[in-house]
Amino acid sequence: MPTEVRRIGVRDLHQARAALAWAAAGHHRLLLHALEAPVLGVGFWRGVEEALGRGLVIECGAQAGAVLEALRAGLRNLQFDVAVAQAPALEALVRAHGGVCVRETAAWRLTPGRSVAGQLARLHFGEVTMASAAGTPTSERLTERSAEIQEMGLVACD
C-alpha cells in the first residue's frame, strides 16, 4: 500500500475525475483540493462533491467570509490562511459545525487550458518536482495526521 499522499488541486469536475482515475490506475493515495473556491463559489464545489460522491478540501484562501460561506453550503473540509487574530475563532467555528481544518495546501495544482492527462503523467513519471506554494520541494509523507485524513474520507487509494 502506498505511503505517500498526493495533494492535487483541481479547478473543475473534469480535472477531479481525471485525478481520481489517475490515482486509481497508479495506486496513489490522493487528497483532492478545490482551488479558487472564493471565485468559483462554494455552491459549485458542493455540486462537484455530490457528483464525485466524496469530499474535497476547499481552499478558501485568506478570506474568512469564504470559510463561512463554505460552512453554510455544507462543505466541511476547509483550508484557509486568515489573519492570525482570526484563525482561532474561525477554527473553533469550523469544528463546531463538524468540519475539519486542513493546514496544507495542494502541492500540485492542475492548470486550465492544458491537457489534464499530460499534467498527471508528468507528475506520475517524476518529471515535475512537487512544490509547496512557497516553492519548497516536498514529498508529503503520511504523518500523525494520517488517521484524521482517512477519517475525512478524502483519500482515494487502491
In tens, the pLDDT along 79-94 reads 999 998 999 999 999 9
At 1, is the pLDDT very low, low, confident or very high (cuts 50, 70, 90)? low
DSSP summary character for residue 132: -
Q: Where are the domains of the chain?
A: 5-156
- 14 pLDDT more than 60: yes
**Whole-prediction pTM:** 0.73
pLDDT band at 8 (very low <50, low <70, confident <90, very high): very high
Q: Cβ(62)–Cβ(84) under 8 Å? A: no
CA diameter of the chain: 43
| pLDDT at 146 > cutoff 50 | no
In the predicted model, is pLDDT for residue 156 greater than 50?
A: no
The mean per-residue pLDDT over the stretch 32-51 comes to 91
Q: Which grid coordinates belong to 12?
A: 473543475
Question: Would you tell me how many other CB atoms lie within 10 Å of the CB of residue 103?
Answer: 8
